[in-house]
Amino acid sequence: MESFTVGSEFWCGTGDKIEGKRREVAAEVFRMKGWLGCRIRSPLCSMGDQPFESLIHADFDHIDGDRLNHRLGNLQPACHSCNSHKQKHQWKSLPEATTPQNRERVSAAPPSASSLESAKHDPQRAAWDSILAASAWTALKDAGTMTLTSESGTFYLASDLAEIAVKLTVDPVYGKYSSETFMRYAREDRFDTLEMIKDKGRWWVRLR
C-alpha cells in the first residue's frame, strides 16, 4: 500500500499527468484549505462563486505557469475556462524545454514586461467594459469625487475614473491593473460608450 508524507513539496504527478491517488490527495488538501471553487476567477470564469461538484475533476492550475511543476504548493483548483485562458497567455511565450535543466531555467525566468502587458490586455479590457456598465459610476458617487455639471449631464474626472477602476478590478492572476491603461481605454471609448470634454486643462468623462 502506497503511503505519502504530504506538504507543499509533495509531488503530485510525473510528466504532464496528475492522476490516481496523488490527484485524490491534492483534491483533499484543496478541500481542507477551503478551496472549493475556481481560484483563478478571471473575467472568463465559468464557475463564479459556485463550488465544484468534485474537486478531483477540476482543472489543476500550476500557479507558477510551469505545467511540469506538480508540487502540491504550486497547484490550485480552477475551472477549465480560466485555466485555458491562463495557459494560453503564460505558456505560449515559453521556449521549448526539452531537459529538466532547461525547464528549471524557463520556469524561473520572469516574463518580460511586454509579454505581461500583452497577456493582461484581454482580461483588463473585459474588466474595464464590465465596470463601465454601472459599478464605476456608483463608486465615484460614493467616494464623493469632483464633478462638473453641464447641459449634457454630470461629468467625472477621467483620472478619478481610472483610479476607481483599479480598485474595482483586482485580478486573481495579475493583481492590480494599470490606471494608465484604463486612461487609454477611456480615450479609445470617447466616441462610443463615453463622452469626454476638456475644461481648464482637465479631462472629464461620463457615460453616453
Q: Which helix (H) or strand (E) holds 205?
A: strand 202-207
In this structure, the answer to whether residues 203 and 119 fall within a common structural domain is yes
The pLDDT score that the predictor gives to residue 13 is: 80
Asked if residue 13 belongs to a domain, the reply is no
Residues 131 and 191 occupy one common structural domain: yes
How many structural domains does the chain have? 2
* Residue written as grid cell 483533499: 28
Q: Do residues 30 and 60 share a domain?
A: yes
Say which residue, 66 or 206, is predicted with more confidence: 206
pLDDT value of position 57:
93
Share of the chain above pLDDT 90, in %: 27
Return the percentage of the chain with pLDDT > 70, whole number: 80
> Are 48 and 102 in the same domain?
yes
Among the candidates 63, 89, 109, a domain finishes at: 109
Whether the Cβ atoms of residue 138 and residue 131 lie closer than 8 Å to each other: no
Judgement on whether residues 72 and 125 belong to the same structural domain of the protein = no
Residue-number span of the structural domain to which 92 is assigned: 20-109
What DSSP line would sit under 166-197, residue for residue?
A: HHH--BTTTBS--HHHHHHHHHHTTTTTEEEE
Ramachandran quadrant class, 173 (left: phi over 0; alpha: psi -120 to 50; beta: rest): alpha
Domain boundary among 68, 88, 109: 109
Angstrom distance (rounded) from CA 11 to CA 69? 8
From residue 30, give the alpha-carbon distance in Å to each of 45, 61, 110: 19, 12, 27
Tell me: do 99 and 153 sit in the same domain. Answer: no
> Is there a single domain that holds both residue 60 and residue 94?
yes
pLDDT at 45: 87
Q: Are 39 and 61 in contact (CB under 8 A)?
A: yes
Q: At 1, is the pLDDT very low, low, confident or very high (cuts 50, 70, 90)?
A: very low
To the nearest 5 percent, what fractions of the chain are helix, strand and coil? 45, 15, 40
> Residues 32, 99: one domain?
yes
Q: Are residues 92 and 129 located together in one domain of the fold?
A: no
Mean per-residue pLDDT over the chain, rounded: 80
pLDDT given for residue 108 in this prediction: 41
**Residue 144 and residue 151: Cα distance in Å, rounded?**
21
**Alpha carbons 144 and 19: distance in angstroms, whole number:** 53
154-202 pLDDT, tens per residue? 999 999 999 999 988 877 766 788 889 999 999 999 888 899 999 888 9
- Whether 4 is in a domain gets the answer no
Residue 37 inside a domain? The answer is yes
pLDDT score recorded for residue 130: 87
The tens digit of pLDDT for each residue in 7-62 reads 777 888 877 789 888 899 899 989 988 999 999 888 888 888 899 999 999 999 99
- Cα diameter, the chain: 78
Domain boundary among 109, 131, 151: 109
